[in-house]
Structure 1
Amino acid sequence: MNKHQEMIEKAHEELNKYKKSVSDHEWSLQYHVMPQANWMNDPNGFSMFNGEYHLFYQHHPYSPKWGPMYWGHVKSKDLVHWEHLPIALAPSEPYDIDGCFSGSAIEKDGKLYLFYTGNKWTGPDQDKDLKQVQCLAVSEDGIHFEKIAENPVIEEAPSGDIHPFHFRDPKVWKEGDYYYCVLGSQTKERIGQALLYRSPDLLKWEFVNVMARGTGNMGYMWECPDLFSLSGQDVLVMSPQGVKPEGDLYHNLHQSVYVLGNLDLQQGKFRFDQFQLLDYGFDFYAPQTTVDHLGRRILVGWMAMWESEMPEQGHHWAGAITIPRIMSIEEHRVKCVPAPELETLRFNQVSYSNVLMNGSRNFEGVNGDCLELNVLLDMKQASQFGINLRMDTASTEKTVLTFDCQNQKLTLNRDHSGKGPGGERKAPVELNKGKLQLTLFLDKSSLELFIQNGEKVMTARIYPSEHSMEIEFFSDGEVELLKLDKWSLRRSIS
């Protein structure tokens, strides 16, 4: 057994100590991908191979805190039921000794290749004393991976106004006769940018150009770039660090955004318009997409945020991945809706229609901690409508959604959500002929809200008591609940 495999085996011994207690814990997610134990961050290598969805993730198997990165691994036939597989990558070589950082996956000649950043600390300052290179690992079966002898395949950042060490997160795709890869970078003066490379064979890479660079308030480092075409429009998804708050926007430590533009592959230049947030909530970072066999562009993100308090760390785990979201473009904006396959988890439907309400109201059978809630309402004369989620019987613990009709804003407040951080986030929301549509997924310690059929999304981790199960609706005037559907959702992660 080689050193790489030995490190993977040893890591699994550590995970086995805690995975049952993690699975049994009250905050353990039922239908979201999360680690069997210890730390998880960015989704990596989201891809299809042999007719199945494969998803990898940044993983520290020895602690519920960030550390030397491994790649955890799950797969699914349907985007809903996920199976944990052996760890795919361990930091076993001199070029990746301090972490197998983020990257992507691609199929070539019937094999699955992982393209990742090898990280090595060269001194005590992790912002300055580092060496990052780009590496490949390959698998015949999509489960067991070997790092190739030619590593690293990109040994250093290009010359020019490109930071020599912050140089990471390759996202690879094929177009025509070439493989292309976009990498996150910054200038020497710390302005975020993305680099474009191409290769005939995944092994020999040629730098094409600085593909895009920030101006103004666009951050000092563009992490996890992902470039693709959607409905004839080129889209760059990325996670800029260092964007300063503007009004209601950019209040998380780091952001996840997209820009629409036009890519000139020959010149290696991407002309784009302004940032748009992919998620207006608290906990969404490092999103990555793939295209499946149905031609859909599917997005997932890390359901947490850097430097945020994570109460689950006290129970030997941290981090999770969002539910898969199907992306589309309408009226020059990206929309994200839950993958329809999640409907297979539904049971115990409770429905109401055409209900007039004014003030606060509970509905029999509409409660719980692992559910989907669909609401369509007409605001009528009310200026405010809201929902208290995961509320206890004394109404002291609750996560509050409030729509302000006058200001056309939806607020998510978790100041009384239980353990963990509080705060609030706001999303601009326009009514559609006086109507507001909400689709909401609750799962033990998470909330994902899709607004106006995916025009906006808000994601949050919440840590309420297991006894906080109530859902209460409220308004300051008459509203009509045109449709209210609640389903309990089954567990889907093995």
Structure 2
Amino acid sequence: MITHQTELEKANIEINKLKERVSQHQWNLHYHVMPQANWMNDPNGFSFYKGEYHLFYQHHPFNSKWGPMYWGHVKSKDLVHWEHLPIALAPSEDYDKDGCFSGSAIEKDGKLYLMYTGNVWIDGKLDEDLKQVQALAVSDDGIHFEKLKENPVISVPPKGDVNTFHFRDPKIWKHNDHYYCVLGSKTKANKGQVLLYRSENLINWDFISVMAKGEGNFGFMWECPDLFELDGNEVLVMSPQGMNPEANNYHNLHQAGYVVGQLDYQTGELKHESFHLLDNGFDFYAPQTMLDDKGRRILIAWMDMWENDMPTQEFNYAGAMTIPRVVTLQDGQLFTNPAPELMKLRGEEVQYKGEIVETDKRLDGIQGDCIELKIVIEFQDAIEFGLKLRVDEATGQETVLRFDRQGGTVSLDRNQSGNGPSGVRTTEVDMTKGKVHLHVFIDKSSVEVFINEGEKVMTARIYPSEQAKEILFFTDISMKIESLSKWDLKRAIK
């Protein structure tokens, strides 16, 4: 007889077989959340419960490729040192037998509730013949979860212009005396939209409205919606599938971004401004946020992209999360910066000030594959300048961050980064002040670049050789490194 507990036990046994070998692999990340073994995608259930941060994730414990979805689970006291916990959810019931898809978490009456999408494939085309419902699981300790007997708590999509197959990824929150959730959806004509529901008890849900709908180049499906209040505004984060490239934007297979507006809780309508990307790099999808006990809005996203080559799969693991990012609203746009708790990982500081760069330049002590950099560049007369990361001159490997002052752009180039996918991503950045501020996090197979204190972020998975540790600064004329600090970072997660 299949039970939830027996499915969880089988999954945990499989992970335990592989985790030691995976942890020692050269591309295994040292301070990013990733699976102990096999597949990971979307962050789920990101929450603060009983004094700890909890993060769940889409997980296939039996293969390094996507498959029937479980919920993996980690927790942390400080957003830095994460502890792997037993798998929290497994497909085991008639309504979720083909996957416990994405969802979120909320505390109620001292218990932690997970709301997720139960997925069932029906004979036929995978993208059309599926049934998706919304279900709940509950825990007294935040670790061991039981599915509710009332499941599914939302069993059918609402009537109207709503695709009957795609209806997923609930994000729940409380406003005044009611619980609310948004769900990703699309119209019958394949335009992305978000649905708004309300409940008094988490179990009985009423459909309120289509909260927001795409027009024009806004994709055929909106996944993983997240709505939160920030400085008197509502922010809707979502991941549109099927947006067409426009200039420098929307060149990944799927996108992740946000709109800022005002939600009328009575009508359920969100009046909002234009769409903005949350990350202008390669590998960022399905972001989810939470409000912590310090009143901060913290964001984590899946640090990979669908249908990309993932070289770690042949070594029994795939997928990772970004570092936690603090989200703020400035002049109608979101700024995201690394959680300051990451400073706990720093070793001894190597520092430079006032260093002039006229061609390619190395600086003693500035290299590594698990490091943090803080840099202020005064570009002076330079038109093109930047830095090369994870350089191995013997093999020609390098990952290039290049600023173009005439175009007002910055690009991240991983065409020579080693194994894995290639390409260039470009975005506009403010260079009117004569300086650029950079905050760079390099891990064994990732790069995250925060530009001008969170104005733009560019994230990429890269898979270089173990020898690729050098860093070079370059310019076409001359520039000044006004300040530079580099730290080796300690391993935070095993």
State the TM-score, normalized to the length of structure 1: 0.99
* Equivalent-residue separation in structure 1 for 2:99 and 2:63 (angstroms): 14
Look up the SS of the partner of 1:234 in the other structure.
strand
Match of 1:69 in 2: 69
2:11 aligned with 1:11, yes or no? yes
Structure 2 counterpart of 1:420, one-letter code: G
The aligned runs of 1:315-354 (5 Å cut-off) are 315-354=315-354
Match of 2:80 in 1: 80
Match of 1:164 in 2: 164
Structure 1 counterpart of 2:402, one-letter code: T
Q: Following TM superposition, by how much is the alpha carbon of 1:394 offset from its aligned partner in structure 2, in angstroms?
A: 2.7
Match of 2:233 in 1: 233
Any stretches of 5+ residues in structure 2 without a counterpart?
none
Cα deviations by residue, 1:241-292 (Å, 9 ceiling, x for unpaired): 0000001110000000100111001100001111100000000000000000
Cα deviations by residue, 1:420-469 (Å, 9 ceiling, x for unpaired): 01000001111151001110000000000000000000000000000111
Structure 2 counterpart of 1:102, one-letter code: S
Match of 2:203 in 1: 203
Match of 1:413 in 2: 413
**Alpha-carbon RMSD:** 0.9
Cα deviations by residue, 1:185-220 (Å, 9 ceiling, x for unpaired): 000000000000000000000000000000000001
The aligned runs of 1:464-483 (5 Å cut-off) are 464-483=464-483
Look up the SS of the partner of 2:358 in the other structure.
strand
State the TM-score, normalized to the length of structure 2: 0.99
2:111 aligned with 1:111, yes or no? yes
2:428 aligned with 1:428, yes or no? yes
The aligned runs of 1:57-456 (5 Å cut-off) are 57-394=57-394, 396-456=396-456
Percentage of matched positions with identical amino acids: 60
Look up the SS of the partner of 2:478 in the other structure.
strand
Contact 2:2–2:92 (Cα < 8 Å) also in 1:
no
Q: Following TM superposition, by how much is the alpha carbon of 1:38 offset from its aligned partner in structure 2, in angstroms?
A: 0.1
Cα deviations by residue, 1:76-109 (Å, 9 ceiling, x for unpaired): 0000000000000000000000000000000000
Q: Following TM superposition, by how much is the alpha carbon of 1:348 offset from its aligned partner in structure 2, in angstroms?
A: 2.3
Q: Following TM superposition, by how much is the alpha carbon of 1:371 offset from its aligned partner in structure 2, in angstroms?
A: 0.3
Cα deviations by residue, 1:56-76 (Å, 9 ceiling, x for unpaired): 000000000000000000000
Look up the SS of the partner of 2:8 in the other structure.
helix
Contact 2:177–2:200 (Cα < 8 Å) also in 1:
yes
* Equivalent-residue separation in structure 2 for 1:322 and 1:104 (angstroms): 18
Q: Following TM superposition, by how much is the alpha carbon of 1:357 offset from its aligned partner in structure 2, in angstroms?
A: 1.4
* Equivalent-residue separation in structure 2 for 1:280 and 1:368 (angstroms): 24
* Equivalent-residue separation in structure 1 for 2:51 and 2:448 (angstroms): 28
Q: Following TM superposition, by how much is the alpha carbon of 1:490 offset from its aligned partner in structure 2, in angstroms?
A: 0.4
Structure 1 counterpart of 2:272, one-letter code: F
Tell me the matched-pair count. Answer: 494
* Equivalent-residue separation in structure 2 for 1:252 and 1:356 (angstroms): 36
* Equivalent-residue separation in structure 1 for 2:168 and 2:221 (angstroms): 10
* Equivalent-residue separation in structure 1 for 2:264 and 2:231 (angstroms): 17
Structure 1 window deviating more from structure 2 (16-25 vs 96-105): it is 16-25
Cα deviations by residue, 1:39-72 (Å, 9 ceiling, x for unpaired): 0000000001001000000000000000000000
Cα deviations by residue, 1:351-373 (Å, 9 ceiling, x for unpaired): 00011111110000000000001
* Equivalent-residue separation in structure 2 for 1:242 and 1:96 (angstroms): 26
